[in-house]
Structure 1
Amino acid sequence: MMTTTVQRLGRTDIHLMRQLNALFASVFEDAQSYASAPPNDGYLADLLAKDGFFALVALQGKDVVGGLAAYELEKFEQARSEIYIYDLAVAETHRRQGIARTLINNLRDLAAQRGCWALYVQADYGDDPAIALYTSMGKRQDVLHFDIDVRAFPDLIESDQTL
């Protein structure tokens, strides 16, 4: 078995971020979101340079076989922050090798170094492997998640006088 290394991407790692996006598109079967309108190099460089954005990749040789994207959220109720794991994926051919757990643990180490309060992540109902992994690493909370389209109902937004 080939050695797997984890790397946090920085400003100059655009080619690895593009590989990570391709992995997300494949694993999530969502080319529309991840591949239909890729950002330009400048956008990716700026994003990867942000202190509160985390893109970690698991590499075997020069190949991205897993990765995650996460954001640090500064809280208002207390002087602390949390890191939200937005996406995490491992190539199907490399699953059950501890790669996802290693990625999360690397992010946990970065969070601890920054003094963050917690990491959190969502899983979809029916994604039993992800649910089992996250349950083994933390406390489960059953919540509802809502996507609110900012372009929906523009006539209501414009006419709302309570703002």
Structure 2
Amino acid sequence: MDIRPVVRRATTVAELTAAEHLYDGPARPEWAERFLAAPGHLMLVAYVDGEPAGMVSGIEMSHPDKGTEMSLYELSVAEAFRRHGIGRTLTRALAEAAKERGCYGMWVGTERDNEAARATYRSAGAGDDGDFAMLTWTFD
């Protein structure tokens, strides 16, 4: 089966909530509004036959001595559409958007044992910079 998704930037709360089956949990309209209002936040949605089949979100991060880079925050493809290149297409589209926005690079963190994610990112041109530790804070 040859699947050719149409990738578009999500610019409305309705578009973000229509893609909620691709997220880890349900979308909340107030969080979607905040996402859209934040400078440097970007979500691209891949549509197949008019329905959201995948999404990638990115966040620009700037520093006074480095400039601006894009962080690939999350990538998701609906199970029925996996292994058809949609993840690679979305990752490449985010990289192109980052270049257009003047970012000097893009990065993503993923678990070492997440072979599917690592293969997707490598197929979209990413290099592996090695291991790193992620430490997190959770606030109530």
Q: What is the TM-score of this pair, normalised by structure 1?
A: 0.75
C-alpha distance in 1 between matches for 2:53 and 2:68: 29
Aligned to 1:131: 118
Contact 2:56–2:94 under 8 Å retained in 1: no
* TM-superposed deviation, 1:150: 4.1
C-alpha distance in 1 between matches for 2:81 and 2:9: 19
Once the two structures are aligned, what percentage of the paired residues are identical? 26
Q: What is the TM-score of this pair, normalised by structure 2?
A: 0.86
* TM-superposed deviation, 1:73: 0.3
Structure having the higher Rg: 1
- For the aligned residues, what is the CA RMSD? 1.9
C-alpha distance in 2 between matches for 1:104 and 1:23: 15
Secondary structure of the corresponding residue to residue 19 of structure 2: helix
Are residue 70 (structure 1) and residue 71 (structure 2) matched?
no
Q: Structure 2 vs 1, CA of residues 147 and 46 (structure 1 numbering), >3 Å: closer, same or farther?
A: closer
- The number of residue pairs the alignment matches comes to 137
Instruction: List 4+ stretches of structure 1 deviating above 3 A.
Output: none
Task: Give the counterpart of 1:146 among 124, 129, 135.
Answer: 135
- Extract unaligned runs of 5+ from structure 2: none
C-alpha distance in 1 between matches for 2:7 and 2:113: 28
Aligned to 1:119: 106
Give deviations 1:52-107, integer Å, cap 9, x for gaps: 001110001221100011100012323x1111111101111101111111111111
* TM-superposed deviation, 1:147: 0.9
Secondary structure of the corresponding residue to residue 23 of structure 2: helix
Q: Structure 2 vs 1, CA of residues 112 and 97 (structure 1 numbering), >3 Å: closer, same or farther?
A: same
Contact 2:41–2:59 under 8 Å retained in 1: yes
C-alpha distance in 2 between matches for 1:45 and 1:86: 17
Aligned to 1:155: none
Task: Give the counterpart of 1:44 among 22, 32, 35.
Answer: 32
2:122 maps to amino acid: T
Aligned to 2:23: 24
Aligned to 2:9: 8
